[in-house]
Structure 1
């Protein structure tokens, strides 16, 4: 036991012990990642029952101040920043890791703006605007097996997932996440103080065996991406979705959140993992990928109990989503010309990703274009070195390690290439191959 750290922890009750740890951390005496004494060692030093120390550590865990790592012991939580989507600020390199949609394909909202004005919205009115509710209901019902559901609206998909988890879980509850996972999902679970349980993803989506293993570990919620999985581009096949529904059949009260963020842009059919008898579910569809990231709005269809709990966190007048924003989204989604443009954007992203994958294949580097905005490229060498080589050639890419829950070692790059013209795409493909060859030579040495 580190005597210096042990001396900072005092008290004879769980509250006193927890308060002393918190005070030591606030004063900078206990830094992020610092190991705390074992339960037995601290109990012996303080002359108290071990259960008192267990209760103190449990309080600190629920508060998010400490984390337990099995045989690694109990440590002050390390809240190092998680990578974020978007442009890299201040970089002079050509950023091909943004994950952004192409602004040239985002519909101009000017024509719809005049339709959003009108009757003022007052305190106490429904959270979801009547027009958006009417438009969204058949859109969601077409892909939901349970017949009984309710709609609500949140400030985007991340907001929806955060609120859904918060209404169902407490700190240290286990959540099944796809591995690799979208960056905001990792951040949401981490900041909520939940315990992420990785479920492997392959070309057909979430692994049924992996989901069963996660359920065996006691997960209370599952966050899944039915198509355009970020970062891999995987989409559930009908067979895989059926296998996942079969696994979930014995767990009807586990909350299943399906994040169909790509929805209207997707070139793949939607296959749900929620069966008709499942009791806790939420289908989330945001508009940011096709109406623009600044349109912070998502529609959620969920079981009545989940909807009621979600509504409590969206009190009209305090945390509701602007009805002007809802009406603007509805006006665009109800416009056939806008919907045609969205379909064109989806086809454009698919075509550009497929063309880039073909360029890599022509250079002897096989790549498969999945669904979504990005391309997930597997390399035969360490991607960190490839990324460094690409930076020397003027490109900024993302390595797969940023998206992994199990730690480093992903042999992938995630590239956003759909907005490159043919000349730039050809140059990037050649540079990826050259960087891979150079990295292979460096590793051999």
Structure 2
């Protein structure tokens, strides 16, 4: 892990907020401090990023596309703005988590590359596995399958965003497999949808200082199913707002 290799306990790491919950668990487990950086549809925000770096962040972990849970992706303009910020902090380690890669639905716009380090023991990878991966990466049939998966996942997230918009519900999901919906009461929305047969994730695990919300994974939610889901979401919101006093 780059963070444990390059940093020492007590160092600060800039992390996306909202961000991937496993990373938010990992950073403090390594003895490192988290500095939250606000995210919008175009990725981490330059102003918040500059603030974190000025506060002493030694590294930043970010997602160039398919960001979880917001579904953000870097644009060329945002990349330029972030590189301008980084220019003033040349010693900062940049770690990009492109976990969705070719199924994210958009091209990768990256800030940096880092060569991984391999140990001679536990870091060794089987030659059979390497050959298998190399074969898959160069197989035209696999390439077509991955491209089709990317189009399918994009269509599903776009369908949900559009269906929610029909009910006046704002959401985020520019790339990847998730749609983030800002809400006032996460528990009420999660429980309300559960009674209607839908399972979504409360946003508590994904954010530090950013406002509440819920994450909807759209990988298996078809465009047809997005319509009743959005309707049930709107009804659940109405119920939760009524309980909270409007």
TM-score, L = length of structure 1: 0.53
Give 1:253 deviation, angstroms. Answer: 1.8
Distance of aligned partners of 1:199 and 1:422 in 2 relative to their CA distance in 1, 3 Å threshold: closer
Of 176, 185, 191, the match for 1:388: 191
RMSD of aligned alpha carbons: 1.8
Report what 1:187 is aligned to: 25
Instruction: Report the secondary structure of 1:415's partner residue.
Output: strand
- Please say if 1:414 is aligned against 2:215: yes
Distance 1:188 1:164 in 2: 12
Match among 196, 200, 205 for residue 397 of structure 1: 200
Distance 1:242-1:421 versus aligned 2 partners, 3 A rule? closer
Give unpaired runs (5+ residues) of structure 1.
Answer: 1-162, 275-280, 283-301
Counterpart position of 1:165? 3
Q: CA deviation at 1:216?
A: 0.9
For residue 444 of structure 1, give the secondary structure of its aligned residue in structure 2.
coil
User: What are the superposed Cα offsets for residues 341-368 of structure 1, whole Å, 9 maximum, x if unpaired?
Assistant: 1000000000011112222222332334
The residue number in structure 2 matching 1:223 is: 61
Q: How does 1:26-65 map to 2 (within 5 A)?
A: none
> Structure 2: which 5+ residue stretches go unaligned?
none
CA positional deviation for 1:214: 1.0
Tell me, yes or no, if the aligned pair for 2:41 and 2:172 is still in contact at 8 Å: no
Q: Does 1:339 align with 2:177?
A: no
> CA, structure 1 residues 368+250, in 2 after alignment: closer, same or farther (shift >3 Å)?
closer
Shift of 1:242: 0.6
Query: d(CA) in 1 for partners of 2:122 and 2:107?
Result: 37
What TM-score comes out, normalization by structure 2 length? 0.92
Does structure 1 retain, via aligned residues, the 8 Å contact 2:37–2:44? yes
With over 3 angstroms needed to count, the CA separation of the structure-2 counterparts of 1:336 and 1:352, relative to structure 1, is same
- Counterpart of 1:367 (choices 162, 171, 187) is 171
Count of residues in correspondence between the two structures: 246
The correspondence for 1:426, drawn from 220, 223, 227, is 227
Name the SS of the counterpart of 1:220 in structure 2: strand
Secondary structure at 1:365 match in 2: coil
Conserved 8 A contact 1:358-1:367: no
